[in-house]
Amino acid sequence: MPMTREEILAIDDTPIHEVKVANWPKPLLFRSVRADETERVYKIINGGPNKHVNLVALLCCDEEGNPLFTEDDVAELCKKSMSSVQQIMEAIVEAHPILTADTAELEKN
């Protein structure tokens, strides 16, 4: 029997991933992109400055999937090493194969 509307809407299908960042004492969690965030993610990728950090800020979360950061935190996150941000970005791209081509643009910029 196929799933019902109620069953589909009740499923929490946004996985949370863990990334170990060198020189950070604990792992970091990030969640998968939700369907309602797709346009925002593409705007970040194709948009203005601090693309990597904006995407990291959007997706990093606690164990419940709640955001760790707000847009107000981006300036402080920009002070983190590019190596750390790159490790997080690589994990995000690995978890979202559809972003692979789009993030190639990020690497050029």
CB 18 within 8 A of CB 27: yes
The model's pTM? 0.85
10-residue averages of pLDDT along the chain (109 residues): 97 96 97 93 87 95 97 96 96 86 54
pLDDT value at position 21?
98
Domain ranges of the chain: 15-108
CB 88 within 8 A of CB 103: no
Please tell us whether the domain made up of 15-108 is placed in CATH 3.30.2220.20: yes
